Amino acid sequence: MTQDELKALVGRAALQYVEAGSIVGVGTGSTVNHFIDALASMPRPVAAAVSSSTASTERLAARGIRVLEAGAVERLAVYIDGADEIDARGCMIKGGGAALTREKIVADLADRFVCIADASKRVEVLGRFPLPVEVIAMALPQVARRFAALGGQAVQRPGVLTDNGHPLLDVRGLSITDPLAMETEVNQWPGVVSVGIFARHRASLCLLGTAQGVQTIHY
Question: For the CA atoms of the chain, what is the radius of gyration?
Answer: 17
Distance of CA 1 to the CA centre of its chain: 23
Report the C-alpha gap between 176 and 59 in whole angstroms: 33
Of 116 and 154, nearer to ligand 5RP (C-beta) is 116
| Neighbouring residues of 79: CB distance < 8 A, sequence distance ≥ 6 | 24, 25, 26, 27, 106, 107, 109, 110, 112, 113, 114
Give the interface with ligand 5RP as residue ranges (CB under 6 A).
27-31, 81-84, 94-100, 103
Question: Closest distance between ligand 5RP and the C-beta of residue 130, in Å?
Answer: 11
Question: Closest distance between ligand 5RP and the C-beta of residue 81, in Å?
Answer: 5
Of 82 and 127, nearer to ligand 5RP (C-beta) is 82
Question: Closest distance between ligand 5RP and the C-beta of residue 28, in Å?
Answer: 4
Report the C-alpha gap between 181 and 195 in whole angstroms: 12
Question: Closest distance between ligand 5RP and the C-beta of residue 149, in Å?
Answer: 26
Type of residue found at 125? V
Of 29 and 179, nearer to ligand 5RP (C-beta) is 29
Of 122 and 149, nearer to ligand 5RP (C-beta) is 122
- Residues with a catalytic annotation lie at 103
Asked if 98 and 162 count as a contact pair (C-beta separation under 8 A), the reply is yes
SS3 of 99, please?
coil
